[in-house]
Structure 1
């Protein structure tokens, strides 16, 4: 009985693919990876490829926009200055007026990388590019990328706190009472976990929903969901950068 159902599903799938070529794109399941084998180690090749493409596009766009700076910004220079001003305001709000300028480059890099990575997954048809195995997707679709970004954030707020307060920074673990030590330590472990899984989960869920809808109704129904994915991708980049700034600001603030 099970074999008959399996054969029937296969024949139905083949007939559907013959009728609708879009199904060939949607049948690639989310989560397949393209690996590079280096000795005894496997690297996620699709993450490195798409990350290099994202970084390359950001660098090229920045060079083109700022190669001929003018006192009165126009065109692409106007756009880059708008983004810079937005990041400065975000850093100032989360970190404070005294320290925020030092952290604008870090928060700006985090925000732009996550933003462009998310949009690359929402806008670019990566699955049209055929690979021997696996598939291409947004860098933030891989848990390794989001964990790396979260760990960088953790290192940054530890660095910020120790740089300003020295070893006195660790007094926060027994503040306002010694018995709160386990809870305060657990909080520092939960921050990178929540950052990484929030970003990874939202991007992966968006691609799963779009993939299922394309398989079921491949013509017009998935378009609103894809547009919603573009919006939520931008929101996730903002949330990640905002929380990173908030954690840094919390580590350097004075507790009385």
Structure 2
């Protein structure tokens, strides 16, 4: 999250790049809840994203018809896409159980990313920090990655019981440390990939808006919309792939 206040003030106004180098990243609007500090702007934006998804779903599906049309047609297209994604990654036997989870992950990440790419949240002033996409905060992406990790552990244990843990010593027992490290690295790679890409996109757009306010940032914003959709697809695909890996039968 960027704060461009006073970027061009002071004696170095003729050299804005020096001012931009001092821009602070990661300012937050804190709430005190039960003695703990939480990032209030992340909760606000997450509620906004959830509200958009819920309201859109209710409006699009309030009058379901055998032959879909309008928004119902769009929601069914998205549902079919998610079903195909889950079927490809998880497998035909188990995929229906995981369509809701993978679909929720995909839609939440997609709408969150687009909320940061399309809406000028920095124009809304809050006591401290700035509003931005929920996925612009490492806490959100780590939470999503941990949910994914819990899900593929649950999927494997549910299907195989304690035999699931045999995978750590396959194909040879000496691979145990590497297999354990792999499971620890999955949530790290998921969370930092999504966080890094979304933060980098908003940083680039913010710097371009400060330097060249007109025309130039528009192509970058459009590119951000595209990359935001790709990041949501990558996150959901990897989540499905990890679940599929945990439920597949090893011979």
State the TM-score, normalized to the length of structure 2: 0.92
- What is the CA-CA distance between 1:12 and the residue it aligns to? 4.6
Gaps of 5+ in 2: 1-7, 17-21
**Aligned-pair Cα RMSD in Å:** 1.8
**Aligned equivalents of 1:201, 1:13: Cα separation in 2:** 30
The aligned residue for residue 20 of structure 1 is none
Larger Rg: 1
How many residues are aligned here? Answer: 239
Deviations 1:106-125 (A, max 9, x none): 00000000000000000011
Equivalent position SS for 1:36: strand
The aligned residue for residue 182 of structure 2 is 187
- Higher share of residues assigned helix: 1
In the alignment, is residue 196 of structure 1 matched against residue 191 of structure 2? yes
- What is the CA-CA distance between 1:38 and the residue it aligns to? 3.1
**Aligned equivalents of 2:59, 2:115: Cα separation in 1:** 20
Paired residue for 2:229, among 227, 234, 237?
Answer: 234
Contact 1:33-1:44 within 8 A present in 2 as well: yes
State the TM-score, normalized to the length of structure 1: 0.90
- What is the CA-CA distance between 1:134 and the residue it aligns to? 0.9
- What is the CA-CA distance between 1:100 and the residue it aligns to? 0.3
The aligned residue for residue 220 of structure 1 is 215
**Aligned equivalents of 1:227, 1:13: Cα separation in 2:** 29
The aligned residue for residue 244 of structure 1 is 239
The aligned residue for residue 100 of structure 1 is 95
**Aligned equivalents of 2:89, 2:238: Cα separation in 1:** 8
Equivalent position SS for 1:136: coil
Deviations 1:90-140 (A, max 9, x none): 000001111000000000000000000000000011011111111100000
**Aligned equivalents of 1:230, 1:37: Cα separation in 2:** 33
Gaps of 5+ in 1: 1-7, 17-26
Contact 1:30-1:207 within 8 A present in 2 as well: no
The aligned residue for residue 249 of structure 2 is 254
Equivalent position SS for 2:127: coil
**Aligned equivalents of 1:28, 1:120: Cα separation in 2:** 22
**Aligned equivalents of 1:12, 1:175: Cα separation in 2:** 61
- What is the CA-CA distance between 1:11 and the residue it aligns to? 3.7
The aligned residue for residue 171 of structure 2 is 176
**Aligned equivalents of 1:231, 1:155: Cα separation in 2:** 29
In the alignment, is residue 115 of structure 1 matched against residue 110 of structure 2? yes
**Aligned equivalents of 2:88, 2:34: Cα separation in 1:** 47
Paired residue for 2:50, among 42, 52, 55?
Answer: 55
Moved over 4 A (4+): 27-30
